[in-house]
Amino acid sequence: MNIDEIILKKENKEPLEYKEIEYMVNSYVKNKINDKTMSKFIWAIYNNGLSIKETYYLTDVMIKSGEVIDLSSLNKKVVDKHSTGGVGDKITLIVSPIVAASGVCVPKMSGRGLGLTGGTVDKLESISGYKLNLTKKEFINALKKVGCAVISQSEQIAVADKKIYALRNEIGAVDSIPLIASSIMSKKIASGSDIIIIDLKVGEGAFMKNIKDATKLAKTMVEIGKYYNKKVICTLSDMNIPLGSNIGNALEVKEAIDFFNGKYDKRLYELSVYISSLMISSAKNISMSRAKRLVINLLESGHARNKFYEWIKNQGGDITKLKDKARKYIVVSTKSGYVNEIDSHKISQLVFDLGAGRVKKTDKIDYAAGVMLNKKIGQRVLKGEILGVIFYNKKVENMDKIFESSFIIDKKKKRVKKIIIKTIK
């Protein structure tokens, strides 16, 4: 096949055949074509898009570039939950044990955070002793014993996606709907789950900035799932403000602990219960209202909390030993009024600058760094009251002013938007 002809075909908006996409991807993985040539191909896709059939072709080729996990030996319904990432998103830490406590299996392969979005792996790594790298046999045994396990992404799954994603990130071709869809779905399908629930964040603190593009991405992923006879459900959730009270790795683990002890942020509770109910409803083939009653019962009875501790302990973690040593800086409000907005992007940038985030996967991070929000959307605040606390080991210039400026405080109270925007099946 002729590489230049394939690239030219896509540049001219002509549809590509399976064999053409397969040839380009596999040649790149095997180093038969270089970054410069592959960049031209990626930009041709970025600028001209892919049809749903072409997106399926790309997904399938990336799945076949690596290992596919078989979870049939579990003899249970298996549900995977994926999040596109957001500020303060600790949903995996909460929903995994809730759903496992209901008897549904939850296998999770999670990634590290890059840029301003925190990764589940980093949060779990802030727990002393937690083992993220399990063998396939250990992973299956953990799922059989506990019902949920969260490990770092296997290097053997969707090998092509890892290489292509790194290149997309390097050349700035990340925000392409077909490329995002094939990247997410290749990993999810290769991971072996029957049902895939995707929490697609939308807003200033998320990758997808508007509902229109998020809806298009959701529909694309649902369609790809149909090719593999997988049930894919996408929930669009609001990420214009941080999720929960704590942003930062160890701090978010602490918030998950608080959650299971009955102390929780209203929006975090609403989304956690909804995603858990969606997972259970889909797996057990029961109504959402019945699934929600079960979720609330599991929380109130303590079964979900017990499952949380069982899961962490089973993977070697000591929840009493968090890597949370940091200094504290209390920030107070300089005016009175109602909190009508909390700038997710500004908060996440501050947390990143404090050392909680990384640019490259090999960068070291400060697990203790982060912020705690003392005031929430819609709450009244008086001049001199505590807005929040900054946890730091590396001081950032004007960090108190940056933190305070993230809060938009007005005399009149505005209506608070619902966290769940819509669900696409």
Q: What amino acid positions are annotated as catalytic residues?
A: 82, 161, 168, 183, 187
Q: Which pair of tokens denotes residue 253?
A: 């683990």
Please tell me what DSSP assigns to residue 127.
Answer: B
Closest CA to 280 of 107, 104, 97, 149: 104
State the residue for tokens 């930009």: 43
CA distances from residue 208 to 85, 211, 245, 391 in whole angstroms, order as listed: 10, 8, 22, 28
| Three-state DSSP state, 323 | coil
Q: Which pair of tokens denotes residue 254?
A: 């602490």
The span from the CA of 370 to the CA of 366, in Å, is 9
Dihedral, CA atoms, 162, 203, 424, 213, nearest 10 degrees? -70
Strands (E), 39-188: 79-83, 106-110, 148-152
| Three-state DSSP state, 6 | helix
Written as one letter, the residue type at 196 is I
| Three-state DSSP state, 106 | strand
DSSP string, 396-413: -TTHHHHHHHTEEEESSP
Phi/psi region, residue 269 (left: phi>0; alpha: psi -120 to 50; beta: rest), is: alpha
DSSP string, 160-229: HHHHHHHHHHHHT----HHHHHHHHHHHHHHTT-SEEEEEEEESTTSSB-SHHHHHHHHHHHHHHHHHTT
Cβ neighbours around 308 below 10 Å, total: 23
| Three-state DSSP state, 322 | strand
